[in-house]
Amino acid sequence: MKLFLQHGTDVIANPKNNKNGGPLRVLTVIGTRPEAIKLAPVIQRLGLEDGVQSYVCLTGQHRDIVNPILKLFGLASDFDLRVMRKGQDLTDITQRILVGMRKLFSTHAFDLVLVHGDTTSGFAAALSAFYARIPVAHIEAGLRTGSLDAPWPEEGNRSLIGRLAKLHFSPTEQARQNLLREGVPDQAIFVTGNTVVDALYQIRARIDQHRSLKVRLARRYPFLQDDCRMILVTGHRRENFGDGLKQICDAIKRLARRDDVQVVYPVHPNPLVRDPVHRLLADTPNVFLVEPLDYPDFVYLMDRCYFVLTDSGGVQEEAPCMGRPVLVMREKTERPEGLRAGVTRLVGTDPELIVRESERLLSSRRVYQAMCKAPTLYGSGNASELIVGSIVKHRGRVKLAAEQLVS
C-alpha cells in the first residue's frame, strides 16, 4: 500500500529519540465526516499548544466529504491512507487501515494516537497503534447501549477501542460510569462534554455573525416555505439497511401528505441508502432529497427545522443544543441522557410509531414545547479545551507510557 503524504513532515522514526523534554507528538486519525466535525475543534486546539506537534491522518473512508470539513475549520491533513475501494466491506476497510497505519508507524514516530467514537476507522487505527505500542486516547469514550448488535458495528467498535485506550475522554458522567463498570481506572477517565457542541457553536456563531453567509444559505433552499413546518431527516445506519430504510421511507411518505409539512432529507452517498431512498421518495410531493450537506448548511437547516427524524448518533446531541426535538429511528441509543431529559424519543423504524410521534409534535404545542428545552447535556462548548488541557497536563504520563510500551 502506498502512503500519501499531504505535505512535508519532520516526525522522526525512532520513538526512543524523543525523551520527556521534546514536544509531544500527537496523531489524530479521521475516517468519516462526523469524526472530522467532532475532531476539528480538538485539532485546532492542539495547534495552539507550544509543546505539542499535531498531525492528522485520513484513512480515506469518507475522503470526498471529509476534506471540505477540514477546510471549513482551517485544517489540512498530513497523511492519507486512501483505503476506499468500490464494493469493499468492513473487513476490507479494517485490513487496509491496519496495513496503512503499520506503514505509517514504521516510518514516523508518535507519542499518542487520538481516535474518536465508534467507527471502523477509529477501531482499526486504535488496534494498529496498540500493535505498534503507541498509547491511544479515545474521544467520546464510554457510550454504550449494552448490546453489541445495536447499533452494529458501532457498539462493538467503541467497546473494543475502550479496551485498547490509555486515556478516555467521556462526554457525560453516564459514559464515565459505563467505563468504570468495565474496569477502566478512574484516573484514566476525563469528563469533558462532547466536542460536537464546540463545532456546532463555532459554526452557528459564524452564521450569526456574517449576514451574507446566512443569505447565501437561505438561497440554496428556495423551496422552503415559511408557512410550512420543515422536518429534517437523516437516515443511514447499517442496522437500518433494507427493510428498516423502506419502513422509514414509508413513514416519510405518510407525513408528507400534510400540506403544512415539508421534509428535507440529505441522502447519504452509500448506494445501500441512496438507491432505495431515491426509488421510494424521489417523486413524493413535499419531500426534498438533497445531496450530503456541508456542515454550515446542516446547522442552518437544523436551526430552520421544526423537529428532526434521525438514526444518527451525533444529531441526538446537536439538535437538542439548538432546541429542536429529536425522534430517534433506532431501538436503542447510547445517548440515554436525551431520553431522560425528554428532548429525544426512541421510535424505531415502525412506520406507525414514527408517524404517531411525529403527529403528536405537529398537533400539540404542549408536547412540542416540552421537547424544545435546550439543556447543556453534552457540555458548554469547551470540550476540546478540556481534552487538550488534560493531554498537556498529563504529557509526562503519556510519554512514560509510550517509552514503557516500546522498551
103-130 pLDDT tens trace: 999 999 999 999 999 999 999 999 999 9
pLDDT for position 20: 54
Round to whole Å and give the CA distance between 270 and 265.
Answer: 14
Fold of the domain built from segment(s) 226-370: Rossmann fold (3.40.50)
pLDDT for position 403: 60
pLDDT for position 380: 92
CA nearest 358: which of 230, 240, 237?
230
The whole model's pTM is what? 0.89
Ordered by start, the domain boundaries in the chain are 4-194+380-406, 226-370
Instruction: Identify the active-site residue in 78, 118, 239, 297.
Output: 118
Instruction: Identify the active-site residue in 82, 102, 238, 254.
Output: 238
The yes-or-no answer on residue 154 being catalytic is yes
Decide: helix, strand or coil at residue 388: helix
User: What is the identity of the amino acid at 371?
Assistant: M
pLDDT for position 211: 93
Instruction: Identify the active-site residue in 78, 140, 198, 311.
Output: 140
Do the domains 226-370 and 4-194+380-406 match in fold?
yes
pLDDT for position 61: 79
The yes-or-no answer on residue 140 being catalytic is yes
Taking residue 17's Cβ as centre, other Cβ atoms within 10 Å add up to: 9
Round to whole Å and give the CA distance between 235 and 312.
Answer: 7
pLDDT for position 17: 41
pLDDT for position 16: 43
Chain segment 274-284, per-residue pLDDT in tens: 999 999 999 99
Alpha-carbon torsion 229, 37, 44, 215, what sign?
A: negative
CA nearest 75: which of 387, 384, 392?
384
The yes-or-no answer on residue 238 being catalytic is yes
pLDDT for position 238: 81
The yes-or-no answer on residue 236 being catalytic is yes
Q: What is the bridge-based pairing of β-strands 189-191 and 167-170?
A: parallel
Instruction: Identify the active-site residue in 35, 78, 111, 154.
Output: 154
- Cell numbers of 33, please? 465526516
pLDDT for position 406: 54
With 0-12 CB in 10 A as exposed, 13-18 as middle and 19+ as buried, what is 274?
middle
pLDDT for position 5: 54
Residues of the chain falling short of pLDDT 70? 1-21, 374-375, 397-407
Instruction: Identify the active-site residue in 268, 324, 335, 394.
Output: 268
Query: Is 252:265 a contact under the CB 8 Å cutoff?
Result: yes
CATH class given for the domain over 4-194+380-406: alpha beta
Cα separations (Å) of 209 from 204, 212, 213, 214, 369?
9, 9, 9, 9, 27
pLDDT for position 4: 59
Instruction: Identify the active-site residue in 236, 324, 335, 345.
Output: 236
pLDDT for position 85: 85
User: What is the identity of the amino acid at 238?
Assistant: R
* Secondary structure in 3-state letters for 12-78: CCCHHHCCCCCCEEEEEEECCHHHHHHHHHHHHHHCCCCCEEEEEEECCCCHHHHHHHHHHCCCCCC
